[in-house]
Amino acid sequence: MISLKNLTKDYGSVRAVDHANFEINEGEILGFLGPNGAGKTTTLRMITCFLSPTSGDIEVENMNINNKQIEIKRLIGYLPEHNPLYIDMTVYDYLKFIADIREISNFGPRIKEVIKQCGLNGVVHKPINTLSKGYKQRVGFAQAIIHDPKILILDEPTSGLDPNQIVEIRELIKELGKEKTLIISSHILQEVQAVCDRIIIINEGKIVADGSTEELQSAFQNKTKLILELIAPESEIIEISNNINETSILSTSPLNDATFKVEIEYDSAKDKRAEIFNFVKSKEWVLLEMHRENISLEAVFRNLTIEGGEK
Amino acid sequence: MNLATTITKKEIKSYFNSPAAYIVLVIFLLLSGWFFASPLFINNQANLRTLFGIIPLLYLFFIPAITMGLLSREKNTGTMELLATLPIKDSQIIMGKFWASVSLIGVGLLLTLVHFITIMLLGTNVDFGAIFCGYIGLLFLGAVYSSIGIFASSITSNQVVSLIISFFIIFFFFIIKFFLFFVPDFMVGIFQFISIDYHFSNITRGVIDTRNIIYFISLIVLFLKLAQISLENRNWK
């Protein structure tokens, strides 16, 4: 549906995007992840025809951005970073303006739908500059979906919102993602993890990883960390790793007189939890807690982006 | 509906949503009224020549003020990204803004018709032709200055910078007639042709010559085209 071929963008001598190649299929929810300044926004701005590439090509539904800009823009709904709005307009006037430019014929029923979907009911006739940041973000969403686009591009849609608003906006994104191709850029991992089925990680303009959440996790995480809280004699804790093959104790730290926190690492492919539990039981220690630490994408992200930075 | 018209509507609304348009119009009317009325009975002539003399000077200050924000504010607040990713051509954006500015000037000129009514009531032998031509000339002059203002607005995201640039470009076209005296003989013709006042005063004399109209239209096209080019050139910001 969208394909980027050797996409490169220079700002003067700075290369913001460096030979990016990927394809996005219809219906996919793509998380576009990277640290600040990695080239996310620049890439999205090229897809939305705001900037033109220095070299390389973008095709949206087999239309090239060099000669079909207007047609491509019609397909895309875009919420830019920082959500720019005409703040002296009322919500209604603003959406009417966008709808007029997009030449939407059934504006009356459509705006009702969008207002309902984005939860803008009470504020339709208020000037945008009187709204809270969360509501402004909803207005931005409403603007992006008013023409019921096939493709929706959201550039850091939750940045600057409070936790409640973030949850609400994520719900909205999930709702919208059911029927659209969605690209969400973010530097927040949990966010991407929560809503996306595919993740592309970009660093210094280069794509460093591309795959589903699980794929990325399993590709980069081969050790599992298990955390125990035990009531046991300190000197004997070491016996866990002595008695069970292929496990190693990373650390033991006292929580109080008799309770210890123990971190154990083992190969992710071989689950050792049952063996560890049985060993603790045979020793008649008291097991207060046992959980695996989700190293998750955070580590993957760090690995990829910091390593890249050191090169 | 044409997309440029949508932009025009939006800009006119935003002019009249803020006090700026009212302030500009009121001061414009006060000043033009004062300069028109005070010598009226001394001259004892039933024409609007003093009005047509003073309005170009007022334009010099007012038109940069009403055009300065048209594009630079969009750049500054980031709404340019919004506008540029909507299915609208840059040329349509520019035209929409241009017509908004010309419309506001038109409203100002329309309000000065009160002076025309005064003349009609007080005087005899009113030269309707000359007055009609004078207004046509003022409208063209306003349109040329608007296109300059829009060009200045397109090259910067700072409204004050935009104001200063458009003021100086307009000032150049305005002042050039005073330099005719100093230039060598063979260049007088060129300078005269560039001078906006030369073409404007031709029209206010009651002669609408295609040469003058072509001059105005080519300036408008030139500056609007430059504005469009500068808008398309956003890749380097």
Q: Is the pLDDT of residue A244 over 90?
A: no
A200 or A189, higher pLDDT = A200
Q: Quick check: B85 and A49 CB within 8 A?
A: yes
pLDDT on residue A219: 67
What is the mean pLDDT for each group of 10 consecutive residues in chain B (237 residues)?
Answer: 89 89 92 87 79 91 93 92 92 95 95 89 83 92 96 94 95 86 82 86 85 92 95 69
Nearest chain A residue to B231 by CA distance is A50
Count of other CB atoms within 10 angstroms of residue B32: 21
Report whether A154 contacts A144 (CB < 8 A): yes
Nearest chain B residue to A75 by CA distance is B87
Q: Which of A32-46, A270-284, B146-160 has the highest mean pLDDT?
A: B146-160
Report whether A147 contacts A90 (CB < 8 A): no
User: With the C-alpha atoms ordered A254, A259, A263, A266, is the resulting torsion angle positive or negative?
Assistant: positive
pLDDT on residue B237: 43
CA A110 to CA A133: how far, in whole Å?
24
Q: Is B76 on the interface with A (CB under 8 A)?
A: no
Q: How many helices (H) and strands (E) does chain B have?
A: 13, 0
Last residue of one domain, picked from the residues A202, A219, A236: A219
Do residue A210 and residue A257 come from a single domain? no
Exposed/middle/buried for residue B236 (C-beta within 10 Å: 0-12, 13-18, 19+): exposed
Structure tokens at A76: 């895309």
State the DSSP string of A214-267. Answer: HHHHHHH--EEEEEEEEES-HHHHTHHHHHSTTEEEEEEEESSSSEEEEEEEEE
- pTM, two decimals, is 0.84
In a domain, A235, yes or no: yes
Contacts 24+ apart (CB under 8 A), A198-201: A198/A28, A198/A29, A198/A30, A198/A31, A199/A30, A199/A31, A199/A33, A199/A297, A200/A22, A200/A30, A200/A31, A200/A32, A200/A33, A201/A33, A201/A34, A201/A300, A201/A301, A201/A304, A201/A305
Q: How far is CA A194 from CA A9, A29, A169, A213, B218, in A?
A: 30, 11, 12, 10, 57
- List residues bridging with A262 in a β-sheet: A228, A252
At A128-141, the pLDDT tens digits run 999 988 889 999 99
Do residue A197 and residue A244 come from a single domain? no
Do residue A208 and residue A268 come from a single domain? no
Which run of H or E residues covers position B2?
none
Q: Quick check: B78 and A80 CB within 8 A?
A: yes
- CA–centroid distance for A152 within its chain: 14
In a domain, A301, yes or no: no
pLDDT bin (cut points 50, 70, 90) of residue A92 is very high
pLDDT on residue A119: 86
CA A174 to CA A117: how far, in whole Å?
12
In a domain, A308, yes or no: no
CB within 8 Å of chain B, chain A residues 64-83: 70-71, 73-74, 76, 78, 80, 82
Do residue A182 and residue A227 come from a single domain? no
Quote the percentage of chain A above a pLDDT of 70. 94
State the DSSP string of B190-206. Answer: HHHHH-HHHHHHHHHTT
Q: What range does the domain containing A20 cover?
A: 2-219
**Partner residue facing B84 (CB), from A50, A76, A82:** A50
Last residue of one domain, picked from the residues A190, A219, A248: A219
Q: Quick check: A11 and B77 CB within 8 A?
A: no
Q: Quick check: A74 and B3 CB within 8 A?
A: no
- CA–centroid distance for A53 within its chain: 24
Do residue A56 and residue A187 come from a single domain? yes
Nearest chain A residue to B73 by CA distance is A86
Q: Is A277 on the interface with B (CB under 8 A)?
A: no
- Å from B6 to nearest chain A CA? 7
Q: Is A99 on the interface with B (CB under 8 A)?
A: no
In a domain, A309, yes or no: no
What CATH number is attached to the domain comprising A21? 3.40.50.300
Last residue of one domain, picked from the residues A196, A219, A242: A219
pLDDT on residue A222: 67
Q: How many domains does chain A have?
A: 2
Give the dihedral of Cα atoms B203, B209, B215, B218; nearest 10 deg. 120
Q: Is A272 on the interface with B (CB under 8 A)?
A: no
pLDDT on residue A298: 66
pLDDT on residue B4: 92
Q: Quick check: A101 and B1 CB within 8 A?
A: no
Which run of H or E residues covers position A31?
strand A29-33
Q: Is A53 on the interface with B (CB under 8 A)?
A: no
Which residues of A are less than 8 Å from B86 in CB distance? 73, 98, 101-102
Do residue A139 and residue A201 come from a single domain? yes
**Tell me, what amino acid is at A106?**
N
Count of other CB atoms within 10 angstroms of residue B89: 14
Count of other CB atoms within 10 angstroms of residue A281: 10
Do residue A84 and residue A47 come from a single domain? yes
At A168-182, the pLDDT tens digits run 888 888 888 888 899
Q: Is the pLDDT of residue A310 over 50?
A: no
Do residue A73 and residue A170 come from a single domain? yes
pLDDT on residue A311: 36
Report whether A215 contacts A193 (CB < 8 A): no
Report whether B96 contacts B6 (CB < 8 A): yes
pLDDT bin (cut points 50, 70, 90) of residue A101 is very high
Report whether B206 contacts B127 (CB < 8 A): yes
Nearest chain A residue to B76 by CA distance is A84
Q: Quick check: B86 and A51 CB within 8 A?
A: no
Q: Quick check: B82 and A143 CB within 8 A?
A: yes
Do residue A192 and residue A286 come from a single domain? no
In a domain, A267, yes or no: yes
In a domain, A75, yes or no: yes
Nearest chain A residue to B233 by CA distance is A51
Exposed/middle/buried for residue B182 (C-beta within 10 Å: 0-12, 13-18, 19+): exposed
What CATH number is attached to the domain comprising A275? 3.30.70.1560
pLDDT on residue A151: 92
Report whether A20 contacts A206 (CB < 8 A): yes
pLDDT bin (cut points 50, 70, 90) of residue A296 is low
CA A9 to CA A137: how far, in whole Å?
29
**Tell me, what amino acid is at B211?**
R
Q: How many helices (H) and strands (E) does chain A have?
A: 12, 14
In a domain, A305, yes or no: no
pLDDT on residue B227: 95
Do residue A161 and residue A183 come from a single domain? yes
Do residue A239 and residue A95 come from a single domain? no
In a domain, A213, yes or no: yes
pLDDT bin (cut points 50, 70, 90) of residue A196 is confident
Nearest chain B residue to A72 by CA distance is B87
Q: Is B19 on the interface with A (CB under 8 A)?
A: no
Do residue A226 and residue A211 come from a single domain? no
At B89-99, the pLDDT tens digits run 999 999 999 99
Q: Quick check: B87 and A70 CB within 8 A?
A: yes
A304 or B214, higher pLDDT = B214
Between chain A and chain B, the number of residue pairs with CB atoms below 8 A apart is: 65
Report whether B86 contacts A101 (CB < 8 A): yes
Q: Quick check: B236 and A12 CB within 8 A?
A: yes
Which residues of A are less than 8 Å from B6 in CB distance? 97, 100-101
